[in-house]
Amino acid sequence: MDTRILAIIGIVLGLGLAAPGAAADGIFPQDGPQGLGGAAAADSVRSNLWLVEALMGEIVAEAAAHLPPAPARVLLPGTPAPTDLQGQLMRLVAVRVLSGRGFELFTGNADSLRGRTDVSVEFLSSQVALAYPEVGRTLGLWRRWVERDVTVASTVRLVESDSGRLLLERRLERRFSDRVPDEEFMLVDDKTYPFTNASLSGSGWQRRLEEFAVLGTLAGLVAVYFANTGD
């Protein structure tokens, strides 16, 4: 095939490789959230579950900044409902982060533990939103990368045990976005919880229209070339 035809095809292929604003390799940023367990190793695959736990850990860490110094006695009242999977995971992360910072943890009824704890910490509601808002394709057909967006929010209440004084009641939120190479997508789309996997975007008629437009452009460029180089 003529080198000029190859050049035309290369240009069109290049148009389908990256979305506006993408990094040169289509993956960014390289570092995950600095939360639970710190950043993952540079060559590790950061699953959706890892990201959710890390973002929850950052929320717990911000709440912990309002607590008395460790080893303060912290009450985690109540228990998330069996159907509240996000609340259950937040509770597990809270126990891991607070105990790791040296706090003495209690659970149970606040009245029965009166005088034995210093502060009560409640995560009143927790929400996780995972989406794949953009998919990068070659020629509009072959998937090259998937954009990932994770948001975690929780309403936190801190109450001084003896006086009942409200120390904090605030909705805290953390968000993280990156792009995942297609060959690693099955590793990050975690099935552990319903909120750690999601449907890919761009599966409707808009994606089909994009595919036909790109292929049509390629065919048109090749046709123009032959028309201009004919005898």
Residues linked to residue 104 through DSSP beta bridges, in sequence order: 73
* Average confidence score pLDDT of the chain: 79
More confident residue, 149 or 9: 149
Q: What is the distance between the terminal CA atoms of the chain, rounded to a whole angstrom?
A: 18
Query: If we measure between CA atoms, which residue out of 8, 96, 17 comes closest to residue 57?
Result: 96
Q: What are phi and psi of 72, to 5 degrees?
A: -60, 155
Q: Are strands 73-77 and 119-131 parallel, antiparallel or unpaired?
A: parallel
CA distance 54 to 56: 5
pLDDT at 208: 52
The H or E element containing residue 120 is strand 119-131
Taking only the tens place, the pLDDT of each residue in 16-51 is: 433 333 333 333 333 345 444 444 455 577 899 999
More confident residue, 154 or 39: 154
C-beta pairs of 206-211 under 8 Å, 24+ apart in sequence: 207/140, 210/140, 211/137, 211/139, 211/140, 211/141
Asked whether residue 10 carries a pLDDT value surpassing 60, the answer given is: no
| % of the chain exceeding 70 in pLDDT | 68
Window from 103-112, 156-165, 170-179 with minimum mean pLDDT: 103-112
Taking only the tens place, the pLDDT of each residue in 56-102 is: 999 999 999 999 999 999 999 988 999 999 999 999 999 999 999 99
pLDDT at 36: 43
The C-alpha R_g of the chain, in whole angstroms, comes to 25
